[in-house]
Amino acid sequence: MEAIPNVQIEWEWRGRTIRNMSLMTFGRQMYLIRESYSPSGVMMSLLPVGD
């Protein structure tokens, strides 16, 4: 997603907001959200999800 001004990205799973380093009760899964800027200055937000 690209916008001017920058947008705020929020991740959700099953109606619950996932914040950086959040711990979900089911499966005791911890989520790590990675935010970075590309060489062109575009902010990226990455949430890897796996089994």
Q: Write down the domain spans for the chain.
A: 11-46
User: What pLDDT is recorded for position 11?
Assistant: 77
State how far the alpha carbon of 27 is from the alpha carbons of 18, 31, 49, 50, 51, in Å: 15, 12, 13, 12, 10
SS3 43: strand
Predicted confidence (pLDDT) per residue in 1-51, tens digit: 566 776 677 777 778 777 766 666 556 666 677 777 778 777 777 776 665
User: What pLDDT is recorded for position 26?
Assistant: 57
Q: Is the dihedral of CA 44, 24, 27, 20 positive or negative?
A: positive
User: What pLDDT is recorded for position 41?
Assistant: 74
Amino acid present at 51:
D
Name the token pair of 25: 């009760």
